[in-house]
Amino acid sequence: MNIGKILKSRRLELGYTLEEVAKLVGTSKQTIHRYETGIILNIPSDKIVALAKALQTTPAHIMGWEDQDDIYQYKNVIPVPPMKKIPLVGTIACGAPILAAENIECEVNMPENINADFALRCKGDSMIEAHIYDGDIVYIRKQPPTDFATAFSAGGRFLYYCFFSFACMRF
């Protein structure tokens, strides 16, 4: 497989657009398109390295020197997305009310595509049916105070319904 086909195949595998890859590499979408179609054959080495990082692979794979496709033939193998660090501020009880105190324990990795401000560790087993287990980490996004009931979100599943009213929170 040539370099252009490898680039396009990997980009589509990750679900990236030309614009997204161009932004990560620091070039234009037209240049990425020219790399993929073979119009530009002599890709600078610094761009090969940047493309490898953006496409979560190695320069050797892009150049066709090593084959990484074997691992991706299995449906349960998913590439690790780009990550960012957020603070883990404590533990939240699943099923029993607690006072949420902001005390940063450490920082945890979170995929960049998730919009959250901090994380909490779950304690208890009342959320097992929602696939939230004792010790799981959930991501929480800060929101302005409101006066209605809502549910904490954890990967598309609710964590716990709560009622927010200005400065207090009731579970």
| CATH number for the domain harbouring residue 33 | 1.10.260.40
Residue entry with tokens 């299995």: 74
pLDDT score of 25: 95
Residues 69 and 28 in one domain: yes
Residues 116 and 136 in one domain: yes
Residues 69 and 130 in one domain: no
| Cβ atoms of 107 and 82 closer than 8 Å | no
11 or 1, greater pLDDT: 11
Residues 107 and 57 in one domain: no
Is 79 part of any domain?
no
Q: How many domains does the chain have?
A: 2
pLDDT score of 164: 45
Residues 88 and 115 in one domain: yes
pLDDT at 64 > cutoff 50: yes
pLDDT score of 84: 85
Residues 128 and 156 in one domain: yes
The model's pTM = 0.41
Per-residue pLDDT reduced to its tens digit, 78-120: 777 788 888 888 777 776 555 555 567 888 888 888 888 888 8
Going by C-beta distance under 8 Å and a sequence separation of 6 or more, which residues neighbour residue 67?
61
Residue 99's Cβ-count burial label (10 Å; 0-12, 13-18, 19+) is exposed
Terminal C-alpha separation, the chain: 57
pLDDT score of 43: 93
Is 150 part of any domain?
yes
Range of the domain at 47: 3-73
Per-residue pLDDT reduced to its tens digit, 111-170: 888 888 888 888 887 778 778 888 888 888 877 655 544 444 444 434 444 444 444 444
Per-residue pLDDT reduced to its tens digit, 21-57: 999 999 999 999 999 999 998 999 999 999 999 999 9
